Structure 1
Amino acid sequence: MSDEKRRGAGGRGGSGAGRSRSRAAQIHAVSSSVQRLAVLLEAGVPPARAWRYLAEGSQDHAHRGFARMSGSVEAGGSAATIEFAAQNGVVRRVAGAVGDGAPIDEAIAAAANVCSAHSRQAWMLVAAAWRVATESGAPLAQCLRDFSKTLVEVGDVQRTVEVALAAPIATARMMTLLPVVGLAFGAVLGFDTVHTLFATVPGVICLVAGTVLLCVSSRWNALLVRAAQPRHVSSGLSLDLMAVAMSGGASLSRARQIAERAVHAANIVSPTERRRLDDVLDLAERAGVPAAELLRAEGAQARREALTASQTRAAALAVRLMLPLGLCVLPAFMLLGVAPLLISVVTSTFTSL
């Protein structure tokens, strides 16, 4: 599959629920690659060589698991397996670019452009962390290890939200099948509801109106589900990037300059987190304590708050999905399931007279 097709598949990816299910897998797959890099760097492997080793290992894994992954795709199977294979492609592109002399952070950002949305966000954050650690002089291996744990937290937030959304989404899908069930029920009772629906003027009117209502319901449901999902994977990560910059021993102004450049490059600028950052730095200065740990704790708190907000939206979704059900699906059920049955009964009654 070409890069363009893979990116299109990851970005569009079927139903909204299908995209939702893959988000945690995308982020956890990136975290796994970052964790391996951290281990290699801690063992004394130079960064460029660490990427090359990681790429060689991912290529071997791809060859061994190709048949298994293909079977998973055909069966609609393991999202984690598919996403891990996608991340292997990113690693190989980074290793190739670094081998050609490109800066590692720029190579990561460039390779991320062919990923699906949430993988791209996660890799852009890794590029930002790498840039901040390199420019500030922070220990790269430890920074990557900490950042890998942060990505795991973000992935867990996504997975929790996916579980909370699963029930209302499944209910909405099942209710959309009501008109088809009603149509089949009429046919089982012995009435020619299909002929009535497609071959009579009242039936065609019911068919058109019912189909329009189902299309409106499907679009409405998709919009409600999209509004209930987290829009970004970056909650609290600008605070973590500042913590990385501070751990390198740079002055406050220098660390903030480095972190802000990385935040803008990763497109995770947030006025709310900027205010939290100012509050934490002010507290650390007044108390005379290191700011890095306070920043990490504040970043974790921001992710917990994002999880709570997402769970609240997921709980409200179950109620909001009743609107398209009542205004679109049930009328469509009457038009496509009940009305043809009544028309058939009336027609057969008058014919028999």
Structure 2
Amino acid sequence: MTTRNSAPSAAEMELWPELIWQLATLVKSGLPTREIFAAARGYLHRPVPPEDALEKLLTATERRTVNTAIDDIEMLLTRCAQHTRYGLSAGQAIGSAMDAGLLSHEHSRLRAGELAACWKVSERTGAPIGDMLERLAEFLESEIDLHRARESAMSAPKATGRILSGLPLLGLGLGMLMGAEPLSVLFGSVPGVASAVIGVGLAWAGRVWTTALVAKAEVGQL
């Protein structure tokens, strides 16, 4: 099974608190554990493609990612429904699904691990699983808020990086318009060629460095 390790989108992240709130509601309704996971599958919904062609193009990648994440959740719920009917506890059933490598997204494996941990703690200590699931859902919602705040904060550095990457080309264009013949200066002598190579190298290094910094900031690693 293919593995996806890139940072999840907010839409993908939202699937898990929605699922966990639903599980908490089913638990508190008194439904037997062996029926909870099967019932939760009925509440999953896939994103509907937009009518507008431009919006459809812009959201196609995110919609595909969300659908793959939903596949992970459906597979997890199906496996847990089967195993709890055979007598396994919920924590064991979730752990079995993870051990089998059924979840393709790194984010799905992380959230499933947290879900399994809640159930195992409840099974060992007698703590109310419904309350534990609600606290986990609240925590995940706060994580989504932080994710959106980081995305908003990173929009300006991303735009600045793109603008700065294009400044050398803009400078060459302005020089040509002014009749300074920058290309003949750059490629007409050894010092000029050396300057061009160094300039391109520095511009590329700056672009890579800026991209790496923004990527780390987006996942909270700075």
Shorter-chain TM range is 0.7 to 0.9
Instruction: Return the TM-score normalized by structure 1.
Output: 0.50
| Residue among 25, 33, 39 paired with 1:47 | 33
Q: Partners in 2 of 1:132 and 1:164 — Cα distance?
A: 37
Residue 34 (structure 1) aligned with residue 20 (structure 2): yes
Task: Give the structure with higher Rg (CA).
Answer: 1
Q: Partners in 1 of 2:185 and 2:191 — Cα distance?
A: 8
Alpha carbons of structure 1 residues 108 and 39: separation in structure 2 relative to 1, 3 Å: farther
Q: Partners in 2 of 1:72 and 1:127 — Cα distance?
A: 37
Contact 1:130–1:140 (CA under 8 A) maintained in structure 2 = yes
Instruction: Return the TM-score normalized by structure 2.
Output: 0.73
User: 1:173-203, CA deviations, whole angstroms, 9 ceiling, x for partnerless residues?
Assistant: 3212211222232344456655765687555
Contact 1:112–1:123 (CA under 8 A) maintained in structure 2 = no
Partner of 2:73: 91
AA matched with 2:74: R
| Residue among 129, 135, 160 paired with 1:146 | 135
Q: Partners in 2 of 1:198 and 1:174 — Cα distance?
A: 25
Deviation at 1:45, TM superposition (A): 2.9
Contact 1:129–1:143 (CA under 8 A) maintained in structure 2 = yes
Q: Partners in 2 of 1:48 and 1:199 — Cα distance?
A: 78
Partner of 1:75: 58
Alpha carbons of structure 1 residues 148 and 23: separation in structure 2 relative to 1, 3 Å: same
Residue 218 (structure 1) aligned with residue 195 (structure 2): no
Contact 2:80–2:97 (CA under 8 A) maintained in structure 1 = no
Partner of 2:104: 114
Contact 1:55–1:88 (CA under 8 A) maintained in structure 2 = no
Alpha carbons of structure 1 residues 190 and 54: separation in structure 2 relative to 1, 3 Å: farther
Q: Partners in 2 of 1:71 and 1:137 — Cα distance?
A: 52
Residues 1-353 of structure 1: matches in 2 within 5 Å? Answer: 3-4=1-2, 7-8=3-4, 11-12=5-6, 19=7, 22-58=8-44, 61-62=45-46, 65=48, 67-68=49-50, 74-76=57-59, 79=62, 81=63, 84-101=66-83, 103-107=92-96, 109-110=98-99, 113-116=103-106, 118-189=107-178, 193=182, 204-231=193-220
User: 1:102-130, CA deviations, whole angstroms, 9 ceiling, x for partnerless residues?
Assistant: 633314534675214x4433332222112
Once the two structures are overlaid, the 10-residue window that deviates more, 92-101 or 223-232, is: 223-232
Shift >6 Å, 4+ stretches? none
User: 1:281-321, CA deviations, whole angstroms, 9 ceiling, x for partnerless residues?
Assistant: xxxxxxxxxxxxxxxxxxxxxxxxxxxxxxxx6xxxxxxxx
Alpha carbons of structure 1 residues 161 and 207: separation in structure 2 relative to 1, 3 Å: same
Contact 1:108–1:123 (CA under 8 A) maintained in structure 2 = no
Contact 2:95–2:113 (CA under 8 A) maintained in structure 1 = no
Alpha carbons of structure 1 residues 33 and 107: separation in structure 2 relative to 1, 3 Å: farther
Deviation at 1:152, TM superposition (A): 0.8
Q: Partners in 1 of 2:169 and 2:198 — Cα distance?
A: 14
User: 1:131-155, CA deviations, whole angstroms, 9 ceiling, x for partnerless residues?
Assistant: 2123222222232122111111122
Alpha carbons of structure 1 residues 210 and 98: separation in structure 2 relative to 1, 3 Å: same
Alpha carbons of structure 1 residues 144 and 204: separation in structure 2 relative to 1, 3 Å: same
Alpha carbons of structure 1 residues 51 and 78: separation in structure 2 relative to 1, 3 Å: same
Q: Partners in 1 of 2:153 and 2:112 — Cα distance?
A: 26
Contact 1:112–1:124 (CA under 8 A) maintained in structure 2 = no
Q: How many residues align?
A: 213
Partner of 1:341: none
Contact 1:38–1:142 (CA under 8 A) maintained in structure 2 = yes
Cα RMSD (Å) of the superposition? 3.5
Q: Partners in 2 of 1:26 and 1:112 — Cα distance?
A: 17
Alpha carbons of structure 1 residues 112 and 162: separation in structure 2 relative to 1, 3 Å: farther
SS at match of 1:75: helix
Alpha carbons of structure 1 residues 108 and 74: separation in structure 2 relative to 1, 3 Å: farther
AA matched with 2:209: W
The answer to which structure has the higher helix fraction is: 1
